[in-house]
Amino acid sequence: MAPAVWDGVLWAGLGLLAGLLVSLLADLAPDGPRAGRRCRRCGLERSWGAYAFNLRPCPRCGYRPRRPWVLLLLTAGLTVLLRFTATRVPFGWLWPLTLYFLLLAVIDWEHRLILSELLAVGLVLGTALGVARRGWGATVGGALAGAGLMLLLYALGRLLQARLGAGEEPLGFGDVLLMAVLGAVLGWPGVVAGLIWGILLAGVFSVALLAVCALRRRGWVGRVYVPYAPFLLLAAWLLLV
């Protein structure tokens, strides 16, 4: 085979390994190594062998979540795609950032949670990339603007929540800190575009979700919770690519 093909196979393999790592961290980071290995459906505590990255069915109830498989294919595909296409940010930066974004998005989607340890890692990674690309001024400015704008939306959300007496928090404080990380990555004024695109993507998804629910005649689903972080991450990632 031609060297380019071998190169592709190699990077697909590395992408699979990275996907396993992201999936493992997504299982274990929120609840710890013991509780993280529990079956999501029946709660069975599994040994490392029975857990097997959640790729095997649960020995008691047979449940096998789809997410680890989806994540493996996604990381392998994205790794090859990013490796062999020209992107705005070099592959050496973009690959770890992509894996990090995926990890945050999966955990927020499944647990509605943005871990502060992961945010700290992101702030270091994002600041390093931002400074390397456009210096301290735009990086710190981007981080401050991102957090500031999100804080404004957060305060607005809390105000609405108090007025309407709604139970669910519209935005978490984790979203504010996440926007600081993304602000460092995107810099000033790119962070504004990132925030607007994130809100638009979340809006489009919500409308599509409502349409699907309406078509299935499940009635009004005004209380379905849509986490914001995955859309903010997706928007930032698209801007980097």
Pick one of 10, 17, 52, 61: the residue that binds Zn ion (CB under 5 A): 61
Q: Is 153 exposed, middle or buried (0-12, 13-18, 19+ CB in 10 A)?
A: middle
Q: Which stretch binds Zn ion (CB under 5 A): 44-52, 99-107, 164-172, 208-216?
A: 44-52
- The correct pick among 18, 24, 25, 39 for binding Zn ion (CB under 5 A) is 39
Position among 14, 44, 50, 128 found at the interface with Zn ion (CB under 5 A):
44
Q: Which stretch binds Zn ion (CB under 5 A): 32-40, 129-137, 159-167, 211-219?
A: 32-40
Q: Which of 22, 24, 58, 239 binds Zn ion (CB under 5 A)?
A: 58
Helix (H, G, I), strand (E, B) or coil at 164: helix
- Of 16 and 44, the one with the shorter C-beta distance to Zn ion is 44
Determine the interface stretch with Zn ion among 35-43, 86-94, 128-136, 164-172 (rule: CB under 5 A). Answer: 35-43
Site size for Zn ion (CB under 5 A): 8
The span from the CA of 146 to the CA of 236, in Å, is 12
60 binds Zn ion (CB under 5 A): yes
Q: Rounded to the nearest 5 degrees, what angle is found at the Cα of 18, between the Cα atoms of 38 and 120?
A: 80
Q: Alpha helices of the chain — where are they, by DSSP H?
A: 3-35, 48-51, 67-83, 91-111, 116-164, 173-186, 190-215, 229-240
Packing angle of the helix pair 91-111, 67-83 (nearest 10 deg) = 160
Q: Does 196 bind Zn ion (CB under 5 A)?
A: no
Nearer to Zn ion, 29 or 58 (CB): 58
Q: How far apart are CA 71 and CA 82, in angstroms?
A: 16
**Applying CB under 5 A, which residues contact Zn ion?**
39, 41-42, 44, 58, 60-61, 63
